Amino acid sequence: MRLLNSDIVYRAAYKVRRVLLPPKSFLKKVPGVIHVGANTGQERSEYASLELKVLWVEPIPAVFEVLRSNIANFPNQRACCSLLAAEHGVKYTLHIANNGGASSSILDFSKHGAIWPEVQFTHDVQIKATTLARLVDTEQIDLRSYGALILDTQGSELLVLKGAVPILDRFQFVQAEVPDFESYAGCCQLAELTDFMRRHGFKLARKSPFASRRGIGTYYDALYSRL
């Protein structure tokens, strides 16, 4: 992390998640990971070093093509081009961000610019959503090959989890990028997410801050483990 303008702390390589920290990571306890909000698969080499089976899910068609190219030489990794939400068949407007699509969201910006003022939406695409439970069924995903679910969907994490309720008990760990403030309009926040996870049999095992601004709030990688 580094300090900027005395009150902004954030990770230098934004969006390159250090999901393998601390050394005894939860990823060493599972056979694979489903990573929703893949972007271009920045963690592909780290996952491969742990010999994990990986299912990437990325909704932006142009970014998906880059992802597919990036994982072509990783035989244990595959990708699906899907937007995940709480219900199947609902059409969303996906706002595409200018940082390689990394901050793209179905939600409008709220206080996101207080931490990343350089990030803006450039255009929209219309995409029909499906649910993670339905995707697992239609793609014939064997959940015994995974065990961990990682979410990085820019404010819609709770919607993704609601659509995953029928299969949520098949995961041992769930990690989500989540703020404790309204980064996107109406976005999922840490307290709300923790309450939802508790009601579905998970406890908050760790929250690792990676971006914050005094007077605004903090972003975390929040790790939940099954009770």
Residue boundaries of the structural domains of the chain? 29-226
Token duo for residue 197:
């996870």
Residue 22 predicted with pLDDT over 80: no
Q: How far apart are CA 174 and CA 226, in angstroms?
A: 9
The class of domain 29-226 in CATH terms is alpha beta
**Is the separation of the CB atoms in 175 and 190 below 8 Å?**
no
Q: What digits encode the pLDDT tens for the residues 129-172? A: 999 999 999 999 999 999 999 999 999 999 999 999 999 999 99
Q: How far apart are CA 125 and CA 213, in angstroms?
A: 30
Q: How far apart are CA 162 and CA 178, in angstroms?
A: 16
For residue 54, the SS3 value is strand
Confidence band of 39 (pLDDT split at 50, 70, 90): very high
What 8-state DSSP symbol labels residue 75? T
Whole-model pTM?
0.90
Q: Tell me the CA end-to-end span of the chain in Å, nearest whole number.
A: 31
Confidence band of 87 (pLDDT split at 50, 70, 90): very high
- Between 12 and 179, name the one with better pLDDT: 179
Confidence band of 25 (pLDDT split at 50, 70, 90): confident
Confidence band of 4 (pLDDT split at 50, 70, 90): very low
How many Å is the Cα radius of gyration of the chain? Answer: 16
Report the percentage of the chain scoring pLDDT > 90.
89
**Is the separation of the CB atoms in 193 and 219 below 8 Å?**
no
Confidence band of 23 (pLDDT split at 50, 70, 90): very low
Q: How far apart are CA 96 and CA 221, in angstroms?
A: 22
Mean pLDDT over 185-212 rounds to 96
User: What's the pLDDT at 17?
Assistant: 46
Q: How far apart are CA 217 and CA 101, in angstroms?
A: 23
Confidence band of 3 (pLDDT split at 50, 70, 90): very low
User: Which of 109, 127, 128 minimizes the C-alpha distance to 119?
Assistant: 109
Mean pLDDT over 2-15 rounds to 37
**Is the separation of the CB atoms in 220 and 178 below 8 Å?**
yes
Strand segments, DSSP code E, in the chain are 2-4, 8-10, 32-36, 53-57, 77-80, 83-84, 91-97, 121-130, 147-151, 173-179, 202-213, 217-226
Mean pLDDT over 174-187 rounds to 97
